Amino acid sequence: MTTALRRLRNYIDGEFRDAADGRTTEVVNPATGEPYATAPLSGSEDVDAAMAAAEAAFPAWRDLIPAERQKVLLKIADRFEERAEELIAAESENCGKPIALVRSEEIPPMVDQIRFFAGAARMLEGRSAGEYMDGFTSIIRREPVGVCAQVAPWNYPMMMAVWKFAPALAAGNTVVIKPSDTTPASTVLIADIIGSVLDELGHPRGVFNVVCGDRETGRLMVEHKVPAMASITGSVRAGMQVAESASKDLKRVHLELGGKAPVVVFEDTDIAKAVEDIATAGYFNAGQDCTAATRVLVQESIHDEFVAALAKAASETKTGAVDDEDVLYGPLNNANQLKQVKGFIERLPAHAKIEAGGEQVGEKGYFFAPTVVSGLKQDDEIVQHEVFGPVITVQSFADEKQAVEWANGVEYALASSVWTKDHARAMRMSKVLDFGCVWINTHIPLVAEMPHGGFKKSGYGKDLSAYGFDDYTRIKHVMTSLDG
């Protein structure tokens, strides 16, 4: 007996629609490896319609006083709480994520982040007006940039959608967002939530639009003439393609790309505590996190003890079914990602040693065991490139100078952490580590008030915080003559 697949649809100008040409793609639950829904494979006609809706809605949304936009966002946050179980179910099916962890680790921060940006809507700060030339007064206007084309990733599809639409809407922009082709379900549900709020409060339907599709759909969005800004969270390759496409008409670009976070552990560290926290930060969400603690550098005097403890922690970490409350993470997101992680393990050099894991687990789905690999060198592929899986590598360093050299010796620069009881050393390391975030004696906590974003091939622009809000605004100088 065949179970009918659920039909997901685009959300354009307040209406749920199929792709104009009727094309669809199957959506697979990574915990089972089986399809559960179809989603539109949108083309140029769908993108045109979404952009036209967002463009038409922009003037009215832009001209609202900030307090009115705040009301909308606060009601959206309330509705997220009211419909939390629906969001949890959609995201769990989207990603195979443990239900309990989506409930505890994703819903509360998302609601908090929406409320933060609701407040930011009323904090359009600028430099003081004044006279900088005799007979003239200058003022600064901070304005929304316009229509924003946004592309969200598959690792945190629901939360990354929040990181994109919340600051954009708060600043007075309108949005067309594309979820990943493997994880559209929760974003379509978010469209239903936001659309209902806009309707209730009497605002234009085209303020928020969702277009499902693949890379080609994303390319059509970025290259479209309407958006003033393109924002993407994704791979380095995808970011480069977006930057190149956007350059054709000089769109503003906001990029949050890959990471290869160094975790620098000095010999004075509390090993048991560090291992516990690093294992959690490395394996959470199956290591599918740009900030994951996956590249550990350990001072040579404690290397063997640390590796043994980390391997034990890995062996005690569970992956499994979405309804098992004892698991830390679920499957890898898709078959291609599972193949990529396996490939890194299969290509390990002879000097590498698998201390734990290293294999697929389970009879169905895309589950991979918590893995620890030691004996690695700085130029090894698995050290230099993002695995995006539950794999932690370990290298041994001699001194602080070498730790800094190796930590910075990758093309990514998103996040890092330092583990030491020496305050002066921690401060020295936080200065020289070339990453957008440096955690000290912790790894991976985020708060709405602080920026998230990297350097080098990790992209540019900030998510979260007032800095993330600023990215969705433009600055205008207005000068007036005092002669009347």
Catalytic site positions: 256, 290
Nearest to 480 by CA among 144, 129, 63: 129
d(CA 238, CA 457): 11
| Residue 273, φ and ψ in degrees, nearest 5 | -70, -45
Q: How far apart are CA 115 and CA 110, in angstroms?
A: 9
Distance CA(342)–CA(387), nearest Å, equals 9
Amino acid at 1: M
- CA pair distance 116, 418, nearest whole angstrom: 29
- Ramachandran angles phi, psi of 23, nearest 5°: -70, 145
Tell me the C-alpha distance between 82 and 199, whole Å.
17
Of 253, 87, 236, 78, whose CA–CA distance to 161 is shortest? 87
Rounded CA separation 437/321 (Å): 33
Phi, psi of 405 (to 5 degrees): -60, -45
Cβ-count burial of 214 within 10 angstroms (0-12 exposed, 13-18 middle, 19+ buried)?
Answer: middle
Compute the distance between CA of residue 264 and CA of residue 396 in angstroms, rounded to an integer: 10
The helix (H) or strand (E) run that includes residue 398 is none
Cβ neighbours, 10 Å, residue 423 = 9
Spell out the residues 6+ positions from residue 215 whose beta carbon is closer than 8 angstroms to its own: 181, 238
DSSP annotation of 161 reads H
What is the maximum alpha-carbon separation in the chain? 83
Short-list 168, 125, 164, 165, CA closest to 146: 168
Contact 432, 403 (CB under 8 A): no
151 in Cβ contact with 239 (< 8 Å):
no
